[in-house]
Chain A
Amino acid sequence: MTEQTTGDLLRMTDAGRVHHAGTPTEVHALRSFSLAVAPGELVAVMGPSGSGKSTVLHLAGGLDVPTSGEVVLDGVSLGGLSVRKRAALRRRAVGYVFQDLNLVPALTAVENVMLPRELDGVPTATARAEALAALDEVDIADLGDRFPEELSGGQQQRVAIARALVGPRRLVLADEPTGALDSLAGEAVMKVLRARVDAGAAGLLVTHDAQHAAWADRVVRLRDGFVVGTTGELVHGVGEAPAGVTGRVVGGHR
């Protein structure tokens, strides 16, 4: 189950997540969710609170495991891995950008970006060179020596994007990355994310903001753990929405 037939960096197949299974408080956080994200693709997942969009991100990043279905990260199925191996894969393959509290306050921008590479065991000089290159790719090469508190919110998010994609990392998972920013700064962050994806990264963006979701190639909409619609072209053979689901409301409504 670990072979990779396409270049997808992330492939979720019928992934489901049930909490408290078999008890009266059983909750289906996500049901039969399928999604493939290839290099050069930015996919947005939208939905109200409780729709399952955070679950998608947690499963995609290996922070949680599905109770049914499969998640394949960079060609490796997460299902059979020990917690330790899963953590190692996560660190090697995925970068995260959150709404805030992304950066270590005591480290400069370049040191923040170096951090994952140093954890990878890369020599400091190499890590520094890679970090500077990553900062250059998000157009803030000149801000490397600043501490987070000396950077604007938008600049901090660019550092976070640089850190997510430093070295060989090619999949960035972003959770409301523009949430705390004004509209122009938010747009600038989306532009940088879009540019990094166009340059060969893959991105999965979770947001409730339609304006920012519109930067994605595809927008998947969730409600009550179900996919209720997908907007944008289907690039891959494996559909994001099971037959008969796209654009229609299915189940989950009383």
Chain B
Amino acid sequence: MSIRHSLLSLLAEGDRHGYQLRQEFEARTGGTWPVNIGQVYTTLGRLCRDGLAEEVGKQDDGSVTYRITPAGKAEVDTWWSRPVPRAAPDRDETSIKVALALSSPGVDVLAVLETEREEILRALQAYTRAKTRIPDHPTGGELARLLVLDQQIFTAEAQARWLDHCEQRLAATTQGSAR
């Protein structure tokens, strides 16, 4: 995930300290992806090194204020306007496990599918419960949290559908009959 572009997009709204960036990032993405402050400062260091941000002052407590540069603004604009690359998706452990189960002696593929499906349903139930705790007309951070929960629900559902599909394909293949 691009912490770099996320932080840069926040800097595009105005000068910030590192801890402000961390706080704002978490609040505005529904608290779903916590970042540690070390990660924030490492990223800020790289942004400065690459000429996308700069240090513009130091307060008495030693906290540094960062400002986006024109090159940084251009970089943010590009981030908003271009899709996130999907050419090389993250390795998905469930897919890998199912694929290997097919050819691993002594492993019951259907049992593997069922185990994965049970876990996904459990996660879906948890996301859904979390969703019911958000008010009907969410604002600000609540809306962000709701959208991010929706994303997790849709992703989990897609995974569950894929597992169902695997099972049906497997049944069709082993029975040798077209459905």
Whether a CB of chain B sits under 8 angstroms from the CB of A200 is no
B108 touches A210 (CB 8 A): no
Q: A210-B157, A213-B121, A219-B121 are in contact. List 19 more A-B contacts (CB 8 A).
A: A48-B164, A48-B168, A191-B132, A208-B164, A210-B121, A210-B161, A211-B124, A213-B124, A214-B124, A221-B114, A221-B121, A223-B167, A229-B118, A231-B118, A231-B122, A249-B111, A249-B114, A253-B171, A254-B174
Closest to A231 in B: B121
Contact with A along B7-35 (1 / 0, CB 8 A): 00000000000000000000000000000
Whether a CB of chain A sits under 8 angstroms from the CB of B68 is no
Q: Choose from B114, B160, B171, B175 the contact partner of A228 (Cβ within 8 Å).
A: B114
29 CB contacts below 8 A, A to B, read A48-B164, A48-B167, A191-B132, A194-B132, A210-B121, A210-B124, A210-B160, A210-B161, A211-B154, A211-B157, A214-B121, A214-B127, A214-B153, A215-B128, A221-B114, A221-B117, A221-B118, A223-B167, A228-B114, A229-B118, A231-B118, A231-B125, A232-B125, A247-B114, A247-B115, A248-B111, A249-B110, A253-B171, A254-B175
Whether a CB of chain B sits under 8 angstroms from the CB of A145 is no
A210 touches B111 (CB 8 A): no
Q: Choose from B118, B167, B168 the contact partner of A247 (Cβ within 8 Å).
A: B118
A191 to B128, CA, bound (A): 10
Q: Which residues of A contact B175 (CB under 8 A)?
A: 254
A82 to B124, CA, bound (A): 42
A223 to B167, CA, bound (A): 10
A125 to B37, CA, bound (A): 66
A211 to B160, CA, bound (A): 9
Whether a CB of chain A sits under 8 angstroms from the CB of B144 is no
- Report the minimal beta-carbon distance from A206 to chain B, rounded to whole angstroms: 15
Contact with A along B157-170 (1 / 0, CB 8 A): 10011001001100
B108 touches A249 (CB 8 A): yes
B20-75 interface (Cβ within 8 A of A): none
Closest to B156 in A: A210
Q: Which residues of B contact A223 (CB under 8 A)?
A: 167
A249 to B108, CA, bound (A): 9
Q: Which residues of B contact A208 (CB under 8 A)?
A: 164
Whether a CB of chain B sits under 8 angstroms from the CB of A64 is no
B76-125 interface (Cβ within 8 A of A): 108, 110-111, 114-115, 117-118, 120-122, 124-125
- Report the minimal beta-carbon distance from A182 to chain B, rounded to whole angstroms: 13
For chain A, the count of residues having a C-beta within 8 Å of the partner chain is 23
Chain B interfacial positions (CB closer than 8 Å to A): 108, 110-111, 114-115, 117-118, 120-122, 124-125, 127-128, 132, 153-154, 156-157, 160-161, 164, 167-168, 171, 174-175
B114 touches A229 (CB 8 A): yes
B125 touches A214 (CB 8 A): yes
Closest to A218 in B: B125
Question: Contacts A194-B132, A254-B175: A219 and B125 contacting too (C-beta < 8 A)?
Answer: yes
- Report the minimal beta-carbon distance from B162 to chain A, rounded to whole angstroms: 11
Question: Contacts A194-B132, A211-B153, A254-B175: A248 and B125 contacting too (C-beta < 8 A)?
Answer: no
Closest to B111 in A: A249
Question: Which of A214, A215, A216, A223 has the most B CB atoms < 10 Å from its CB?
Answer: A214
Q: Which residues of A contact B118 (CB under 8 A)?
A: 221, 229, 231, 247
Q: Which residues of B contact A149 (CB under 8 A)?
A: none
Whether a CB of chain B sits under 8 angstroms from the CB of A150 is no
A214 touches B128 (CB 8 A): yes
Q: Which residues of B contact A215 (CB under 8 A)?
A: 128
Q: Which residues of B contact A120 (CB under 8 A)?
A: none
A219 to B111, CA, bound (A): 17
Q: Which residues of B contact A216 (CB under 8 A)?
A: 125
Q: Which residues of B contact A229 (CB under 8 A)?
A: 114, 117-118
Closest to B125 in A: A214
Q: Which residues of A contact B167 (CB under 8 A)?
A: 48, 223
A48 to B168, CA, bound (A): 8
